[in-house]
């Protein structure tokens, strides 16, 4: 599936997969990622010889995917969405053990989604706050002695 401005192109598939793809691509459109891609392609046309441009383009695409995933996760179940992404990535591959899955952006996306959906436990926040306060008080209560030179 892909989108270009407000046009969304989704291949046939199960209804659940299509629904998630549609939400994901709508997020790309709403966030204006097509403008970023077009601008990057113009820059790449002028600086095609610079190898850093290709890495910047790859990083920009990854950021776009992370942003769209974050928006979809606000409305969807994380595990179901992740399993749908994996199933879609493996669709049409007859030998799933011998693919490029470990080098894929999909692994990074799933790890990022897991970090987004994990909530920070309250006791960790409390320990951090108490520790910060204690260090601040300790530093603030130290006598400042000036030694004459």
Residue 2, Cα to own-chain centre: how many angstroms? Answer: 17
DSSP of 6-40? TEEE--S--HHHHHHHHHHHHHHHHTTHHHHHHHH
pLDDT confidence of residue 114 = 79
Burial 96-126 (b: 16+ CB within 10 A, else e): eeeeeeeeeebeebbebbeeeeeeeeeeeee
Q: CA-to-CA distance for 28 and 128, rounded, in angstroms?
A: 36
Q: Nearest to residue 37, comparing CAs of 15, 77, 68, 10?
A: 68
pLDDT confidence of residue 26 = 92
Spatial contact of 10 and 21, defined as CB atoms under 8 Å apart:
yes
pLDDT confidence of residue 38 = 94
Give, for all 149 residues of the chain, the pLDDT tens digit. Answer: 888 888 888 888 888 888 999 999 999 999 999 999 999 999 999 999 999 999 999 999 999 999 999 999 888 888 888 888 888 877 766 555 555 555 578 888 888 887 766 665 666 777 788 888 888 888 778 776 677 76
């Amino acid at each position: 599936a892909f989108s270009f401005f407000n046009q969304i192109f989704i291949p046939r598939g199960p209804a659940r997969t299509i629904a998630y793809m549609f939400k994901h691509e709508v997020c790309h459109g709403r966030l204006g990622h097509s403008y970023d891609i077009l601008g990057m392609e113009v820059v790449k046309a002028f600086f095609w010889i610079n190898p850093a441009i290709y890495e910047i383009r790859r990083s920009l695409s990854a950021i776009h995917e992370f942003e769209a995933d974050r928006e979809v996760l606000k409305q969807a179940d994380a595990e179901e969405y992740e399993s749908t992404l994996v199933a879609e990535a493996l669709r049409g591959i007859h030998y799933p053990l011998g693919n490029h899955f470990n080098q894929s952006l999909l692994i990074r996306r799933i790890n990022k989604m897991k970090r987004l959906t994990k909530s920070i436990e309250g006791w960790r926040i409390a320990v951090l706050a108490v520790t910060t306060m204690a260090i601040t008080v300790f530093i603030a209560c130290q006598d400042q002695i000036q030694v004459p030179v």
